[in-house]
Amino acid sequence: MKSVIKLFLSGLLLLSIFISCDREVYTGFTEPVILSNCKIFVESNPDSASIYVDGKNSGFITSDTIKGLSEGIHYITLKKNLFKDTTITIELSSSDKKSLFIDFYNNPSNFGTIYVNSNPVGATIYLNDKNTGYLTPHNLTSLFVGKYKVKCNLPLHRSDSTIVTVTYGKIQSINFNLDDTSKWVNYNISNSELSSNHLSSLAADMNNVWIGTRDKGIMKLHGNQFDIIQSVNSRLKYNFINSLFIHNNDLYIATSGSLQRFDGSTWMDLTSILPDPYVTSIIFDKNDVMWIGTQKGLVRYDGVNTVVFDRASGMSSDFVMDIAVDNLNNIWVATNSDGINMYDGHKWKIYDMSNMNLGANLGNSIKDIACDKEGYIYAAHIYSIEKGELGGFTRFKDGTWEQLELNGVPANLVECIYIDDQGNKWVGTKGGMTKFRYEPNDGYFFNTSNSKLPANQVVDIIISPDGNLWIATFGGGLAKVKKGNF
């Protein structure tokens, strides 16, 4: 019985093999069945529009040919960003090859409007730098979709512009708040060619204002034109500017690693005469002798001979922060941590917390120092919580120092002192700026809340020969107050 079953199973296996071997096995790809060979070439203006056939994305963009379409009616839709979709009905016959061209700009629906307004109103409207002849407020109509540059210009105000994207059938509204420049003009990296908002120093000659920065070299402002002077495009050695000074129409530049002179075309490197390349300050006395502050002493340079003053020669410190010259041609030196030094041409006199008799520990770290025509010396003491030094603003005359309070600004956070030709004292602080003639309480102050001062940290102040006031800030860029408005 078992032998019969085995024989039967063997027969089934042979039959299965025979049937399998008799069939044709296909292991390739199935060729698509083309129902028709109709074609349509689609192009558009502008091109690169997505092509949809019967509501489905074909995956092609114009200009291109859609193949393998069946006979009959098809709906061809072109989609282009910003434009209204355009659909064309087309009928194809066997083996047809047709062409279709769609000009989006011929469709009156592909227009938009820009509503332009300004504060104040009455500004001239420019479209792509061309005067439209219209004043704000106004609707600019019948504009093809796309991007447009819109600018508004109003006398005694800063022009402003923006890029507007027009979409079909819609109104794009823009409103310009035009900065009033009749009195104040602010310059920063957003509204001008100023290279940095972090300024350090200012100087001015008859034609230019020179602006030092903490990170981007120097800028020369001539009229409304900024020229950027950096180590990559000039012979300036370092872009970290500590101080600028104009003498006999030459610009003297104190940087973190050099002392240089620039006459407008020629550079001279004076670093070799110094005991240290880190230069903090520059001034010329009444005999045209240059005094230079460094980290390792005070340098006197008459154009030929160099003399270095430091601790060994009677100073209280080697680190000079600032220098001033009084009516008697005495040299006053602010030091980093050891008070104020005065040199009368023969010997040094030291003033610090031990002999200034101020009644409070304002500190021996002096940020800035200045002398006026009445014989007063003004000094800014640096606040230091680590040293327990309160900081403050002091004045000296006839052997006596006194502490002064400033109107509206923090007297212990003074950054700079500037005395103009009229004897006005301008004091920049980390909390704004104040101006006074004789007594600080008689003055008035400026900050970001009550004026157009671009930042409260004021690091330098000057009045240029044309009578404009210039204010350098740390973080807010540059401000100009026009003559007659301060």
Q: What is the mean pLDDT of the chain?
A: 92
What pLDDT sits at residue 94? 80
Give the pairing type, strands 290-294 and 469-473. Answer: unpaired
**pTM for this entry:** 0.79
In a 13 Å sphere around the CA of 108, the CA atoms on its Cβ side amount to: 0
What is the C-alpha to C-alpha distance for residues 449 and 312, in angstroms, rounded to an integer? 48
What tokens were used for 331? 């040299």
What is the topology classification, in CATH, of domain 38-105? Answer: Immunoglobulin-like (2.60.40)
Contact 136, 143 (CB under 8 A): no
CATH 2.130.10.10 fits 184-481, yes or no: yes
Q: Per residue in 194-252, pLDDT tens?
A: 999 999 999 999 999 999 999 999 999 999 899 999 999 999 999 999 999 999 999 99
**What is the structure's pLDDT at 97?**
86
- Name which residue leads in pLDDT, 3 or 79: 79
Q: What is the distance between the alpha carbons of residues 150 and 483, in angstroms, rounded to a whole number? A: 32
Q: From CA 186, how far away is CA 94, in angstroms rounded?
A: 72
Which residue bears the tokens 């508004």? 152
Residue with tokens 């160099």: 306
Name the band, by pLDDT with cuts 50, 70 and 90, for residue 89: very high
What integer pLDDT is reported at residue 406 of this predicted model?
96
Q: 29 pLDDT exceeds 50?
A: no
Q: Does the pLDDT at position 318 exceed 50? A: yes
Residue % of the chain over a pLDDT of 90: 87
Q: Where are the CATH 2.60.40.10 domain residues in the chain?
A: 111-177
CA distance 282 to 242: 10
The most confident of the ranges 101-110, 426-435, 442-451 is 426-435
SS3 306: strand
**43 closest CA partner among 100, 94, 90:** 100
The confidence score (pLDDT) of residue 31 equals: 39
The answer, yes or no, to whether residue 88 has pLDDT greater than 60, is yes
Q: Which residues pair with 279 in a beta bridge?
A: 294
- What would the mean pLDDT of 477-486 be, rounded to a whole number? 96
Q: Does the structure show a pLDDT above 80 at 16?
A: no
Which tokens sit at 183?
Answer: 């009195």
Residues forming CATH 2.60.40.1120 domain(s) in the chain: 38-105
Task: Specify the pLDDT at position 2.
Answer: 42
Q: DSSP state, 311?
A: G
The answer to whether the beta carbons of residues 67 and 96 sit under 8 Å apart is no
CATH number (2.40.110.20, 2.60.40.10, 3.90.220.20, 3.40.50.80) of 111-177 reads 2.60.40.10
pLDDT at 6 over 50: no
Q: Of 303-312, 324-333, 438-447, 477-486, where does mean pLDDT reach its minimum?
A: 438-447
pLDDT at 34 over 60: no
| Mean pLDDT, residues 116-125 taken together | 98
Residues 348, 353, 359, 361, CA torsion sign: positive
Q: How far is CA 17 from each of CA 5, 6, 8, 25, 337, rounded to the nearest angstrom?
A: 19, 17, 15, 14, 105
In terms of Cα–Cα distance, which of 33, 43, 36 is closest to 73? Answer: 36
If you average pLDDT over residues 131-141, what whole number do you get? 97
pLDDT band at residue 478, thresholds of 50, 70 and 90?
very high
Q: Which of 259, 253, 137 is closest to 203 using CA atoms? A: 253
Alpha-carbon gap, residue 66 to 89, rounded angstroms: 15
Quote the CA–CA distance of 374 and 485 in Å, as a whole number: 25
Q: Any idea what DSSP says for residue 340?
A: E
Rg of the chain (C-alpha set):
39
| Residue 459: both structure tokens together | 């690091």
Q: pLDDT value at position 24? A: 40
> What does the block give as tokens for 453?
């001062």
